[in-house]
Amino acid sequence: MNSTGSAPAKAGLRVGVIGAGVMGSNHARVLAGLPGVSLVGVVDPSPAHRTRAMELANCASFETLDQLLAEGVDAVTIAAPTHLHHEVSLACIAKNIHVMVEKPIASTVAEGREIVTAAQKAGVTLMVGHVERFNPAVAAVKQAIAGEDILSIAITRVGPFPPRMSNVGVVIDLAVHDIDLIRWFTESDIVEVQPQLSSAVAEREDIALLQFRTANGVLAHINTNWLTPFKARSVTVATRGKYVMGDLLTRQVTECFGFKPDGSYSMRHLPVGHDEPLRAELIAFLKAVRNGETPAVTGDEGVASLEIATQCLETPSRPAAKSSALKGPRRVAG
């Protein structure tokens, strides 16, 4: 595939991957197979991680970020632990390198905003890796509800405790995906949060029931936990004219429509693509870099989702009003 740029000597875009855990290794694998991309290598302090990424992507590896940057890169994807996102993003942006940073954009909203500001000042592309938007089932749901009057959204994202988790609970690890989807589906900001959290077996919250209201009046809720022995990922959207159900794992999307007064309705399965979400996401990032376009998930959107997730962790739950009828021993009937 010929490069259309004015520098034919360049073998496409020179891209590096920072962080070679499970996610970063997958970034490297996908990038190594994309046309018009030269994968310069992966960075990770762990020899075991570097070896795995090299085997998956057949690329060079580096122990430090400086070693990668010395090789010269046009763009990087950052899949390092969240607490490093701020420092690593700023170091790359300072060298006018385009950045895709995995979700959440940073550990704090303030750090996220600093990354966004730095990228704007430097004039580089900044995209946040909310990969679920690129799930073909999510895309099918989004298409099905386009132009509809959305009433409510319910998202379930549950599974067993992940061995790779470090210092965050289910809200930052899992629910942040769905907070982003709610904002994307409704094309509106979340203006009200009502969280219920519990740390049943983990140090951080491992159960979260989150309720939201968007600026345009949609009610939404997220059910997420690390206590379910199997993974489940589902989205349902109720609109005035339709009820759309999507299974994000099996990638089946079903639409109920044509509601009649007698309670009958029609039902159909919607066509769903087969793309690997990560591949579609990385292609979208590189397209934005090449064309100077606004990326699919902007830094501001990444910060907005992190801000709502943070609010969920900080909002105190209010005790229910005690009813005087419940005081004292209850009488047993009979």
- pTM assigned to the model: 0.90
Instruction: Output the CA–CA distances (angstroms, integers) from residue 139 to 5, 151, 205, 240, 304, in the order listed.
Output: 31, 19, 30, 20, 21
**Can you name the residues that pair with 224 across neighbouring β-strands?**
157, 208
The residues, ordered by sequence, that sit 6+ positions from 53 with a Cβ below 8 Å of its Cβ are: 17, 20, 24, 25, 28, 42, 44, 59, 61
The 3-state secondary structure of 262-318, one letter per residue: CCCCEEEECCCCCCCHHHHHHHHHHHHHHHCCCCCCEHHHHHHHHHHHHHHHHCCCC
φ, ψ of residue 251 to 5 degrees: the values are 60, 40
Nearest to 91 by CA among 99, 82, 80: 99
Token duo for residue 126: 């900044």
Tokens of 115: 């990354």
Q: What is the pLDDT along the chain (334 residues), one digit of tens a residue?
A: 343 433 333 458 999 999 999 999 999 999 999 999 999 999 999 999 999 999 999 999 999 999 999 999 999 999 999 999 999 999 999 999 999 999 999 999 999 999 999 999 999 999 999 999 999 999 999 999 999 999 999 999 999 998 766 678 999 999 999 999 999 999 999 999 999 999 998 889 999 999 999 999 999 999 999 999 999 999 999 999 999 999 999 999 999 999 999 999 999 999 999 999 999 999 999 999 999 999 999 999 999 999 999 999 997 767 777 655 555 555 555 5
